[in-house]
Amino acid sequence: MSARFVAAIDQGTTSTRCILFDPAGAPAASAQKEHRQIFPRPGWVEHDALEIWANVEAVVADALAKAGATSADIAAVGITNQRETTVIWEKASGRPIAGAIVWQDTRTDRLVAELGGKIGQDRFRAQCGLPLATYFSGPKARWLLDNIDGARAAAERGELLFGTMDSWLIWKLTGAHVTDVTNASRTMLMNLATLDWDDQLLDAIGVPRAMLPTIRPSAEVYGTATGALAGVPVASALGDQQAALFGQTCFTPGEGKCTYGTGNFLLVNTGERPVASRNGLLTTLGYQVAGRPAVYALEGSIAVTGSLVQWVRDNLGLIASAAEIEPLARSVADNGGCYFVPAFAGLFAPYWRSDARGVIAGLTGYITKGHIARAVLEAVAWQTREVVDAMAADSGEALTALKVDGGMTANTLLMQFQADVLGVPVVRPVVPETTALGAAYAAGLAVGFWPDLETLRAQWKQDAEWRPAMDGAVREREYRQWKKAVERTLGWVD
């Protein structure tokens, strides 16, 4: 193959990137652009899908220019995306009917409670692997159909199209209305066993089949791109966390990773059969390579981690840039008894409590902004500890090491504290942004740029490791204090 690179479009919650990867899996060029976070009401979070598409076009062109490349140099392009964020657009015009409802948005809280009825949040878990929560796409689509004039009738006539961001971008690139199994598994509308839309779920949640994309494997050619990538096969789609699982080459059951981004997401490969969780985790799809069985995963999802640092920067003004959180936190020896539970959109795993709201607990006159900064970083680690504990309870096996990736892994204070509170080593790969790498790997695999999974696994290299140094008694005492702070968040919303 004469092409030099595989491209990945990484459409995230706060920004969009394009990264070109060479045959060794190393990034050769990248470009990134932020998009607006729109907050029309308390608890509502929206994105402008047209703004995101314009940003995609810009970062693709910029990355190609930086590499001195044209579309002829690109073997394939893969897409990874913020998963549950929901877009509905007109089939004829391509115009979204409203702002995209972001995964963090909680406007569907009453609808979710109504759907649960007397059974509660586990009403649909057997079919789709998910608890009823504001997090997922199906209720968001229902809300749009119920609240935009004429939307439901238009959807039933096949005039509207639904999608998560992967579907929106693939449609804009190729005209194909498709999604992959990983993104479909986040809607509450796909049956885990059949890997198809489930008519009972569609009827119960209230989403017409006519507006839904076709579900395809994660690594497969969906069509040919236009624009700056003219002629390039669009050959993968994975939700961002599943893309990171793929990029970390977790191809064997029991292997897993934790991504530190806007939120934190711990996924563990469970093999070719779904595993039901009894401890607040999600049963989801890991990935599917065309022609092979789907691979499932257990997931622990944490809503607010990296976005908490952004909030401290933008809403409180305690820091001017995200990188300043670490030196500010290092300016004090400990948290001073201060704990920050960022339940801004309720609590996700392992609680699934939409009635929770954020608290800062343990405040005294002694507390400075350094203590608050430290509590922010510790909140990331403690929330991850809770999910690791749930994963161990479901699997019956204790964690021996944690593979990590994402932007926050550059924070060495956080990574050391994470190792301390878990009591196991924390390991970062040479390419920390494995979300984009996973999308590139899947796309390259689909077109033969890389021959097989073992070739990809051989490219994984360790960059850094942090080993636990905290006394066990101190660890458990601090964990009990964290749990007390979490209890204070519950039941805040009536």
Q: Which residues pair with 465 in a beta bridge?
A: 427
The predicted pLDDT at position 425 comes to 92
Assign 80 a pLDDT band (cuts: 50, 70, 90): very high
Q: What is the C-alpha to C-alpha distance for residues 37 and 46, in angstroms, rounded to an integer?
A: 6
Does the pLDDT of residue 64 top 80, yes or no?
Answer: yes
Q: What is the C-alpha to C-alpha distance for residues 23 and 208, in angstroms, rounded to an integer?
A: 42
Q: Which of 267-281, 284-298, 449-463 has the lowest mean pLDDT?
A: 267-281
Measuring CA to CA, which residue among 361, 96, 78 is closest to residue 232?
78
- The DSSP secondary-structure symbol of 129 reads S
Q: Name the 3-class secondary structure at 136.
A: coil
Q: What is the C-alpha to C-alpha distance for residues 267 and 285, in angstroms, rounded to an integer?
A: 10
Does the pLDDT of residue 478 top 90, yes or no?
Answer: yes
The predicted pLDDT at position 140 comes to 97
Measuring CA to CA, which residue among 300, 288, 76 is closest to residue 182?
288
- The DSSP secondary-structure symbol of 312 reads I
Does the pLDDT of residue 1 top 70, yes or no?
Answer: no
Average pLDDT over the chain reads 94
Residues 6 or more apart whose Cβ sits within 8 Å of residue 154: 90, 160
CA dihedral 247, 248, 251, 252 (to 10 degrees): -170
Q: What's the residue count for the chain?
A: 494
Q: What is the C-alpha to C-alpha distance for residues 367 and 376, in angstroms, rounded to an integer?
A: 13
Annotate 160-188 with DSSP letters as a single string: EEEEEHHHHHHHHHHS--EEEHHHHTTTT
Does the pLDDT of residue 238 top 80, yes or no?
Answer: yes
Please give the share of the chain, as a percent, with pLDDT higher than 90.
85
Is the distance from CB of 73 to CB of 119 less than 8 angstroms? no
Q: Which of 2-6, 19-23, 330-334 has the lowest mean pLDDT?
A: 2-6
Q: What is the C-alpha to C-alpha distance for residues 112 and 105, in angstroms, rounded to an integer?
A: 13
Instruction: Tell me what the mean pLDDT of segment 142-171 comes to.
Output: 96
The predicted pLDDT at position 132 comes to 92
Cβ atoms within 10 Å of 170's Cβ, excluding its own: 26
The predicted pLDDT at position 219 comes to 98
The predicted pLDDT at position 59 comes to 97
Sign of CA pseudo-dihedral 61, 175, 434, 416: positive
The predicted pLDDT at position 327 comes to 97
Instruction: Tell me what the mean pLDDT of segment 373-389 comes to.
Output: 96
DSSP H helices, 314-368, are 325-330
Q: Which residues pair with 149 in a beta bridge?
A: none
